[in-house]
Amino acid sequence: MSFQQAPHKLLLIPGPIEVSDPVLLANAHPSMSHVSPAFAPVFSSALKRLRKVLYTETAQPFIIAGSGTLGWDLVAANLIEAGEKALVLNSGYFGDSFADCLETYGAKVTQIGAPVGGRPSLEEVEAALKKDKYKVLTFTHVDTSTGVLSDAESIGKLVQRVSPETLVILDGVCSVASEEIRQDDWNIDVVVGASQKGLSAPPGLSITSVSKKALTVLDNRKTPVASYFASYKRWLPIMQSYEAGAPGYFATPPVNLIYALDESLRQITEGPVSLEQRFKLHKEASQKFKAAALELGFKQVAVNPEDGANGMTALYLPEGIAPPAIIGALGARDIVIAGGLHKDIKAKYIRFGHMGYSVAGEGRKDVDTLIAALQSAFAEVTASR
């Protein structure tokens, strides 16, 4: 069965992103029983392919109806108990929110911040870990509000060296499948993700991957987990059962979205582009786009240009141009980009997504289209000043 999605404006925000026709067709799969012998292998396949994307053999993936945000609840409700300490490395809006979520469950949060567009240094993190004991350390791999990429490998290995009992939580909502994440090698205990960004599927899934060490911590809790839906223990046997090819039941899974995710994961892990090539394509697309934008007079929000994410870019506008002008001019060229999200700089910057299917899909020229449109839009906006 072939299917072609309806004509539409090119969606180049940092998620949701463009998805392929086969992924949308999978999302339009006829209704299936969630306990059907035909559906269980699809769920199994999605779980297994997710492991490949994260280069992990030992961590347990969880695919649950929800959003990236639900992944924070899963971490906060399961892996830390009231009164225990969390160290949050803050590189933007999502660090604040993750801290807020941890505090909702009673964690004592210490944040290491940075000026807008910056990220905490490894030296600051090391000093903090030596000064106090933390149950978990969290960081936003790519903060969607600033486009700043954290050095996941160095953070994971630093914690392993300085405070090996601390669980390392990587918020990868805006990085899974667009930035390299080697969960096992880099000592990452939990990857928190979602379907609508690098994974190139529609939104509606909370996707997390939890190390054996983190699951053991869960076994040794002194107090019960204070959530029902966001309980790893309730979902664990379900994921294990589906992965083994047999259905399980705790709550009805979002069947169609799992068909869609599995199709996208098939393209990511078994398509013509290898995972390694995929990450390289993201880097190339990012450099090309950033160079073109800088040439026009835009400036990265990321203070150190080399800390800019590969799957998205946040850009300050040249003096005298307001976000709506550029967003509108791009909209007139059938391209959708995003306004600002970080409260301190909201009126001064715009955000672009260049990830997943848009940069690694066969025959996609989205970044070239974007660059040409941005040049033309910029010329129009500056001419009319």
Residues annotated within a binding site for substrate = 351
Contacts of 300 (CB under 8 A, 6+ apart): 117, 147, 290, 294, 308, 313, 314, 315, 316
Q: Give the tokens for residue 299.
A: 């400036």
Q: How far apart are CA 9 and CA 244, in angstroms?
A: 40
Write phi, then psi, for 48 (nearest 5 degrees): -65, -40
Helices 255-270, 40-53: crossing angle, 10 deg rounding: 40
Please state the closest distance from residue 229 (CB atom) to a copy of itself, in A.
Answer: 4
Q: Does 252 bind a copy of itself (CB under 8 A)?
A: yes
* Contact flags string 183-222 toward a copy of itself, x per CB under 8 A: -----------x-x-----xxxxx----------------
Of 155 and 325, CB closest to a copy of itself: 325
Given candidates 110, 111, 227, 241, which one binds a copy of itself under the rule CB under 8 A?
A: 227
287 binds a copy of itself (CB under 8 A): no
Of 16-24, 127-135, 273-281, 301-309, the window that binds a copy of itself (rule: CB under 8 A) is 16-24
Size of the site for a copy of itself (CB under 8 A): 66
**Among all chains, which residue has been given the structure tokens 């600002």?**
340
Q: Is 304 in the site for a copy of itself (CB under 8 A)?
A: no
Q: Do you know the residue count of the chain?
A: 385
- Per CB under 8 A, contacts with a copy of itself among 332-351 are 336, 338, 341
CB-based contacts of 14: which residues, under 8 Å, 6+ apart? Answer: 144, 147, 174, 197, 311, 312, 338, 351, 352, 353, 355
Q: How far is the CB of 152 from a copy of itself (least distance, A)?
A: 22
Q: Is 267 helix (H, G, I), strand (E, B) or coil?
A: helix
State the binding site: 351
46 three-state secondary structure: helix
CB 27, min distance to a copy of itself, A: 5
Find the shortest distance in angstroms from Cβ 28 to a copy of itself.
4
Binding track, positions 100-119, relative to a copy of itself; x by CB under 8 A: xx--xxx-------------
Beta strand pairing status for 299-300 and 338-339? unpaired
End-to-end CA distance of the chain: 51
Look at strands 167-171 and 136-140 and give their pairing. parallel
Nearest CA-CA partner of 223 in 84, 379, 347: 84
Nearer of residues 56 and 206 to a copy of itself, judged by Cβ: 206
Binder among 125, 192, 215, 225 for a copy of itself (CB under 8 A): 225
Segments in 116-162 forming alpha helices (H): 122-131, 152-162
Write the Ramachandran bin of 246: left for phi over 0, alpha for psi from -120 to 50, otherwise beta.
Answer: beta
Q: Within positions 53 to 92, which residues make up the interface with a copy of itself, using CB under 8 A?
A: 65-70, 72-73, 76-77
- Residue nearer to a copy of itself on the CB measure, 22 or 113: 22
Which phi and psi angles does 307 have, rounded to 5°? -90, 5
Show the binding pattern over residues 19-48: x = contacts a copy of itself (CB under 8 A), - = does not.
x----xx-xxxxxxxxxx------------
3-state SS assignment for residue 250: coil
Pick the closer one to a copy of itself by CB: 113 or 247. 247
- Choose between 20 and 310: whose C-beta lies nearer to a copy of itself: 20
Q: Among 176, 175, 95, which Cα is nearest to 142's?
A: 175
Query: If binding is defined by CB under 8 A, does position 146 make contact with a copy of itself?
Result: no
- Rule CB under 8 A: is residue 236 a binding residue for a copy of itself? no
In this chain, which of 11, 236, 273, 372 binds a copy of itself, going by CB under 8 A?
Answer: 11
Amino acid in position 295: E
Residues forming the site for a copy of itself (CB under 8 A): 1, 3, 5-6, 8, 11, 13, 15-19, 24-25, 27-36, 65-70, 72-73, 76-77, 100-101, 104-106, 194, 196, 202-206, 224-231, 249-257, 336, 338, 341
